[in-house]
Structure 1
Amino acid sequence: MDISPMVLTLGLGFLLLAVFLLKKKPSSGINLPPGSFGWPLLGESLEFLASQRDNACYDFMEKRVKKYGDTFKTHFLGAPMAVFYSPAGNRFLFSNENKLVQTSWPSSLAKLFGNSILTKVGDEAKDLRKTLLTFLRPEALQNFVGRADTIIRDHLTRYWVGKEEVKTFPLAKRCLFTVACALFVSLGEGPEQDELYDHFMDLINGMLQIPVDLPGTLYRKSRIGSNHIRRILQSVIDKRREDLASGLASSDQDLLSYLLCNVDGRENPLSDSDINDNIMQLLMAGHDTNAVAVTLLLKYLALNPHCYRQVLQEQLNITRENGEKQLQWDDIQRMKYTWNAAQETLRLNPPAGGTWRKAIVEISYGGFTIPKGWKLFWTANSTHKNPKYFPDPDKFEP
């Protein structure tokens, strides 16, 4: 069988690079945290990603904490990384934001989400966050509760009521995506929303994969999905701009109108690219992790009938007083026990187990040195599952 010279050359080059990286001792001469960089190029990415698919990220971390301690090194998605797995480590990172560290996501995510709030740092992040939070403040969201209530009631009637069995997670994702589309871009159900949803599924399935942009890879499919999302959102942006000019849309209709009619923290109008990227990121965040939380809440209530009965009674009391009227903001404020159950769900299984930072200077912590440019990862479970704060950390206790 003939093998082309190009294939041989590429294979040899890859082998030499792998050997070089394997033999290289990064940041030699300093006291790095203990741990393993895993395989050349891949690091421990495959094992970490597999643990996420199997809902075993906690086990991945605990295994290394037992072996190396609560500060250890690894290599994930192309970058050396120090993991802080303790409340003290989390506090250290949060208290040194923009001093020693900055928010920094894996390159695979950063390339997909462009100029969104996800990738901004420093003053740019503060300005953009202020702009977005002005729209997302509780006072503004109060006016949207009725619309969300109508969407969710309709969804439950069509897909849940009268069914002996339902697949909770995909239904929750679809419902919350419809709610997010209504809040952010006033896009109702129909072919355009269906297409947008399908592209978001491609984006989400590949965004935390090895960033190899080759045909057939999940990451390539994710990148193509993000391009299609931008195309659809740009057409929505163009149409909204026309509707605003002709008086067919209002400046407070949704997030899109708000961004088109306002300026950022530096009094500059947002570009279409900025608006597009941020709406894409918020549409993803507004339905994906929320669907995980809703699904797990239902699971814990099913496993704890006494908690389910208390949630049910609270909802029945509100319904009895409210009748058939739309849900109001005040009704939500009265859902004390329901909210406790939701918070306890997030404690036991946070949909996002942690996030990344990047060392912007060389850092000394716990007797170790973290080189400038390294990624750092903080974890929620190091606090949420800590017996010091929760005597029976695995028990569901709203």
Structure 2
Amino acid sequence: MTTTVYDVTTFPASVPATTDIGRVINEILAQVHAEQTSQTTRPGAVIYIPPGHYDLLTRVVIDISYVQIKGSGHGFQSLAIRDESDTTGWVDTLPGASHIRVLNTDGALEAFLVKRDASPSQAGRINSVEFRDFIIDGVEASKPYLPGSGKIGINVASDSDSVRIEGMGFVYLSTAMVLRGADAAWVTGNFAAECGSCLELTGASQVVRVTNNSLISAWAGACVRAEHAEGLLVEGNTLVWHGSVHLSECSRCSIASNKFVSSWPGMVWMEGACDENLITGNLFTRVDTESSNDNGHDDLFGMLQCSGTDNLVSSNLFSYRVDAGLRRPASAIPTIVLVKSGADNVIMGNHVCGTDDYRIVLDQSTTGTRIVHSVPQTAVEAYTQDYVCVPMP
């Protein structure tokens, strides 16, 4: 009977898993290739990583479907706090559980690369690859981590279907996760921190779910960045430090019930032709704990910036808590929402607190914007006559 379940510590590899877990997993995958040769008999494999510390010298390359790599816990520890502290009395100073240290000596940047050389039209898409319950540690890094070492935790570089990344930990990476051309991927229950960017959806993704994660990115990147996404769901996440979602030419996406905390503007940035997106029920808190670092956007950029057509921004709470002396440019009246371009966008039923001096700004090219029960008329700064405001009662 074909073997389908493997343990990296007991598989008869050419090196111990603690020495180079990447090489061990590649040898397991080579055996799966050798044993599963028919189109109709490819059940895939489960590769188990027991608790322990494992060095990864060789990038893992996955080019088959139905592979699950799973550990026994994300084992996260804040390495930035560790590296800025006196740890003499600490009980532990390394991440735990199933802990992989990315030390690539093969010249590669990724810890895990999911890629098939043949095009999807020739060989089909890669289906149902899963990463669960272990931590990928870039070992050393300095803020803002991007471009930094260039290390990537998981890079799904071929069009894929039903990829799952669940219960994972990521730390000290330039980018934790990259998914290209993802269809119906689930990214849920992960803890990614002290990374330049946490999740990048490149190419044209559709119906990806990003839910219940804790994502902590530095000012040079974003917690979630998506381009040409259709139907993306970002829900129930905690997005901190530069708590941000950057959508570039995305449509019919839902950004709902998230907690955003950021020291910089641009907490939701809809860039280019972003149409029919729903931004609802989120808590946005703008603070300034690192005014010496600059992400290129000042307080006129907007906590939320909207471009495109028929977008709805509703039922959000915007809490702006930056002292006047720390605003950029100096003494600026902060922009809460900037409608930069597009038509028929709706801002409805939102609440602004933390400051009495703020603006909703409509740029000159915008048309048909409706602002309903969100702010007083005096808070609207419109460079167009083509809008309707129903002020707070």
**TM-score w.r.t. length of structure 2:** 0.23
**TM-score w.r.t. length of structure 1:** 0.23
The structure that is helix-richer by fraction is 1
The structure that is strand-richer by fraction is 2
Structure having greater relative contact order (Cα 8 Å, sep ≥ 6) = 1
